[in-house]
Amino acid sequence: MSNRLCYVCEGGDCTEKGSGDIHDKLKDLVAQFDPDEEKIKIRRYPCFGACEQGINVTLFPDKIFYSEVTEADLPAIAAHIKGDGEPVTKLTGKCEPDVEQIIWDMLDSPY
Amino acid sequence: MSTVDLEAKIPNNVGLRDNKRLMRALEKWQPQFIDWWKELGPSDFNGHDIYLRTAVGVGKGGWAHFDYVKMPDYRWGIFLADAPEDRKIHFGDSMGEPVWNEVPGEFRNRLRRLIVTQGDTEPASVEQQRMLGHTAPSLHDLRSLCQVNVEEGRHLWAMVYLLHTHFGGDGREEAEAMLERHSGDDDNPRILEAFNYPIDNWVDFFCFTTFTDRDGKYQLASLAESSFDPLARTTQFMLTEEAYHMQTGENGIGRIARRSAEIMKEGRDPAAEGAIPLPMLQRYINHWASASMDLFGGEDSTNAAESFAGGLKGRYRESDGIYKDPKALQQFYKLEVPNDDGQVVEKEVPLRRAMNAVLLDAYVADCTRIVARWNRDLKAHECDFQFKLPNRKFNRHQGVYAGFRFNPQGEIIDEATWTHEHKNWLPSQADRDYVKSCMKACYEPGKFANYIAPPTKGPNDTPIDFEYVKFH
């Protein structure tokens, strides 16, 4: 099983914008080429704190923080995960750098 | 996927109908719970129709139903998250073995204590908040309070189910004792000290739901990793509901701060308008953040080490595989500890013994995010004031920092400095009297007390002027 992680925010704001569906659809897309989670694990995450820019999706250890993600963006995100495409830059850089850093600090735990 | 039985006297997805003995035991406990609710639950609002969310399932496609309900008629149910059948233990000494569906004898006492301690907080918070409805700043907030209270009641049901199902006569006695202990009772108080103080104003309530419920989130998240599968699945579903409680607090403090910033932007003083001055709000944040950090327990703890080694409690999001060593055998945690010379020195603690500190790290990162969010909103309202999360050493009564004095920045100080300065850091009696004077009930749909801004939206896409509570 991979140690690469994709988190889809399920905080209050993101959930109301439809992050549950985004999680399920991204998971279905990725399962088409990675059914046993060998490339990446797709998981929900309680809240990143970038609520105004939701729906937020992160990739680690890539340290890519996607914001304002819609269903239309999912094929490009899945292609990047598969290795067939570049990061979706139109979705990055939308939230404060300190907000991004908090989740990287947690995932970069020295333990 | 599990089958949800909503027609049963106790809604559940645990096949209660097939276990008559357990069903009878829980149905015997149910009226005791209702009596407790009526006596010590929210005061005077049990006869009103309140727009509440009720858990009705655990799968995709919606897990909750919204409708008007009188609180004593709320359908408190027992729900466990679905889990893969072949789940394996993913940390600790027994890593790789199948998870347990029954309690191993060697962990019986430790697991029971974990469940009872968690379970005891659920009714405790309902008791602490029972008078708050009388000063609700809006119908929206009154509904939120009732939502939080009924769901804490459901979380008690979740823990009682585990006790009845897996701990025999001892478990049944513990379940009864949950309703016999009372918050603040001199003779029979709640187990954890933070749950014995009344919460009689909304600043305390929003701080409690922001910081203390968030401790609950991290405790539940660590239990959600447990090798005892029924406990893991129960707490996974509790986390779904708990998210709303924390959001209530985070948004509540944010709305109070925003209202004060709006008043300041107009060149007026919040203290002259019945709103909460931001330095005063900071003192409440200092109090509740530090009190909640105490709930994580000692930073250097053999108990924590044994719970991890046994596979009873994992680290935050342990199953995501974010930690380098799932057995945590070879590493040390660098812990800052005060010594007798009044200095803070770094000490290496075997990682297993530092599991409470590791969990606290995740909590502090989460709280840092929240404070940053409040500060962004203040800036957006052209307010220069910025909140700060107190350092984890400040005002601690548990763990390695207990017995020493630190300022909110985490610098060690002497007793004289503490005596002189602590009124600037923690709520004073004058602060409490002032906050109490601001607590004016506002029950008109769409209206809010002057110290709090409206939320940006209502639950379940309702408009802000929705009649969340129908008085009769």
Does domain B76-470 correspond to CATH entry 3.40.50.1980? no
What tokens appear for A34 in the block?
A: 């990675």
Q: Give the angle B209-B188-B212 at the CA atoms, nearest 5°.
A: 15
Q: CB–CB of A49 and B369 under 8 A?
A: yes
Place of tokens 């090798």: B227
What's residue B62's pLDDT? 58
Q: Which residues of A touch B245 (CB under 8 A)?
A: none
What's residue B1's pLDDT? 64
Q: CB–CB of A102 and B369 under 8 A?
A: yes
Helix (H) or strand (E) holding A100: helix A97-107
Pick A109's closest partner by Cβ from B247, B322, B373.
Answer: B322
What's residue B340's pLDDT? 82
Place of tokens 């089958």: B3
Pick B320's closest partner by Cβ from A43, A46, A102.
Answer: A43
What's residue B97's pLDDT? 97
pTM score over 0.80: yes
Q: Which residues of B touch A107 (CB under 8 A)?
A: 322
C-alpha span between A62 and B185 (Å, rounded): 52
Q: CB–CB of B365 and A12 under 8 A?
A: no
Range of the domain at A40: 5-107
Q: CB–CB of A111 and B320 under 8 A?
A: no
Q: Give the angle B444-B446-B450 at the CA atoms, nearest 5°.
A: 80
User: Which of B359, B369, B462 best tests the A interface by mutation, with the highest count of A CBs <10 A?
Assistant: B369
Place of tokens 């509570």: B469
Q: CB–CB of B333 and A99 under 8 A?
A: no
What's residue B59's pLDDT? 59
Whole-angstrom Cα Rg for chain A: 13
Pick A111's closest partner by Cβ from B239, B244, B323.
Answer: B323
CATH number, domain at A100?
3.40.30.10
Is B453 part of the contact surface with chain A (CB cutoff 8 Å)? no
Is B457 part of the contact surface with chain A (CB cutoff 8 Å)? yes
C-alpha span between A20 and B200 (Å, rounded): 36
CA nearest to B239 within chain A: A46
Q: CB–CB of B322 and A99 under 8 A?
A: no
Is B195 part of the contact surface with chain A (CB cutoff 8 Å)? no
Q: CB–CB of A109 and B358 under 8 A?
A: yes
C-alpha span between B165 and A47 (Å, rounded): 33
Q: Which residues of A touch B361 (CB under 8 A)?
A: 106, 109
Residues 6+ apart with CB under 8 A from B285: B207, B211, B253, B371, B387, B389, B390
CB B136 within 8 A of CB B451: no
CA nearest to B214 within chain A: A46
Q: Which residues of A touch B (CB under 8 A)?
A: 1, 3, 5, 10-12, 16, 20, 24, 41, 43, 46-49, 51, 96, 98-99, 102, 105-107, 109-111
Pick B372's closest partner by Cβ from A16, A20, A99.
Answer: A99
Structural domain count of chain A = 1
Q: Which residues of B touch A98 (CB under 8 A)?
A: 372
Which residue from B34, B66, B65, B36 is spatially nearest to B50, judged by alpha carbons?
Answer: B66
User: Which of B86, B248, B317 best tests the A interface by mutation, with the highest count of A CBs <10 A?
Assistant: B317
H-state helical runs in A17-88: 19-31, 74-82
Helix (H) or strand (E) holding A59: strand A57-60
| Residue ranges, chain B, pLDDT below 70 | 1, 58-62
C-alpha span between B316 and B224 (Å, rounded): 9
The ranges assigned to domains in chain B are 76-470
- ipTM given for this complex: 0.84
Pick A106's closest partner by Cβ from B243, B324, B365.
Answer: B365
What's residue B6's pLDDT? 84
Q: CB–CB of A111 and B331 under 8 A?
A: yes
Is B329 part of the contact surface with chain A (CB cutoff 8 Å)? no
Q: Residue A55: is the preceding peptide bond cis (ω within 30°)?
A: yes
Is B272 part of the contact surface with chain A (CB cutoff 8 Å)? no
What's residue A49's pLDDT? 82
pLDDT above 70 (res A18): yes
Nearest Cα of chain B lies from the Cα of A15 at a distance, in angstroms, of 11
CA nearest to A99 within chain B: B369
The neighbouring-strand residues paired with B470 are: B49
Nearest Cα of chain B lies from the Cα of A55 at a distance, in angstroms, of 16
Pick B370's closest partner by Cβ from A43, A49, A105.
Answer: A49
